[in-house]
Amino acid sequence: MSLVLDPAAQDLLFREARTANTFTDEPVTDEQVQAIYDLVKYGPTAFNQTPLRITLVRSPEARERLVKHMAEGNQAKTAAAPLVAILSADNEFHEELPALLPHFPQAKDMFFAERPAREQSALFNAALQAAYFIVGVRAAGLAAGPMTGLDFAGLQKEFLDDDHTPLMVVNIGKPGEDAWFPRSPRLAYDEVVTTV
């Protein structure tokens, strides 16, 4: 076997995991979300930066405010999901670098003094962390429904500030009835990998 990860875990995280479109009404607890974060925070990023920010939308009032910013096809499932998370990139992540990178504290000013450099790095590394978060949701035995069909400017104005760039909204919970669309094809190894 080429992979050391148990085949059942491979299925849970990748082969059998799907983007969910319906969910049961079983709640997702704060303890589950903390366990997910405490696992995925170890995923690698450049300079050990941690720009991902997670906003959990739990109250009915906040959910109503969020749903109006979702694309029409995403509104009903976002309204009904047990938990919804807004994932964003903190463009001021560099302020934490001296604590996160104690052996190289000057990285904060050497590489990220200018806002455009911070925004580019925050977007890339928060996207990496968002992918880890989705895999972590699966590791918790839950399903994730990540979506980018939304009004990003409206979402930012409603829930964030100018220092946070929204990346996606993720519905989270136990998959419900008819949760999956048919699996779409993936590219084969030979279509993606070249050797030089």
At 110, which CATH number? 3.40.109.10
Half-sphere exposure of 123 (CA within 13 A, CB side): 8
| Average pLDDT of every residue of the chain | 96
pLDDT the model gives residue 192? 98
Domain that holds residue 159: 23-176
Residue 114 pLDDT exceeds 90? yes
Residue 117 lies in a domain: yes
pLDDT the model gives residue 1? 72
Question: How many domains does the chain divide into?
Answer: 1
Q: Which residues are CB-contacts of 188 (< 8 A; sequence separation ≥ 6)? A: none
pLDDT the model gives residue 20? 93
| For residues 108-129, average pLDDT | 97
Lowest mean pLDDT among 88-97, 150-159, 161-170, 176-185: 176-185
Residue 1 lies in a domain: no
Q: How confident is the model at residue 187 (pLDDT cuts 50, 70, 90)?
A: very high
| For residues 86-94, average pLDDT | 98
Residue 17 lies in a domain: no
Identify which of 115, 95, 116 has the alpha carbon closest to the alpha carbon of residue 107: 95
Q: How confident is the model at residue 163 (pLDDT cuts 50, 70, 90)?
A: very high
Count Cβ atoms below 10 Å from residue 48 Cβ, excluding itself.
16
Angle between helices 60-67 and 152-159 (to 10 degrees): 150
User: What gap in Å lies between CA 65 and CA 47, rounded to an integer?
Assistant: 35
Residue 144 pLDDT exceeds 80? yes
54-66: b (≥16 Cβ within 10 Å) or e:
ebebeeeebbeeb
DSSP 102: T
Residue 4 lies in a domain: no
Residue 140 pLDDT exceeds 90? yes
pTM of the predicted model as reported, rounded to 2 decimal places: 0.95
Residues facing 168 on adjacent strands: 87
Residue 14 lies in a domain: no
Count Cβ atoms below 10 Å from residue 24 Cβ, excluding itself.
14
- Rg of the chain over Cα atoms, rounded to whole angstroms, equals 18
- 153's enclosing H/E stretch is helix 152-159
Residues facing 85 on adjacent strands: 56, 170
Q: How confident is the model at residue 173 (pLDDT cuts 50, 70, 90)?
A: very high
Residue 58 pLDDT exceeds 80? yes
User: What gap in Å lies between CA 121 and CA 110, rounded to an integer?
Assistant: 14
Residue 102 lies in a domain: yes
Residue 9 lies in a domain: no
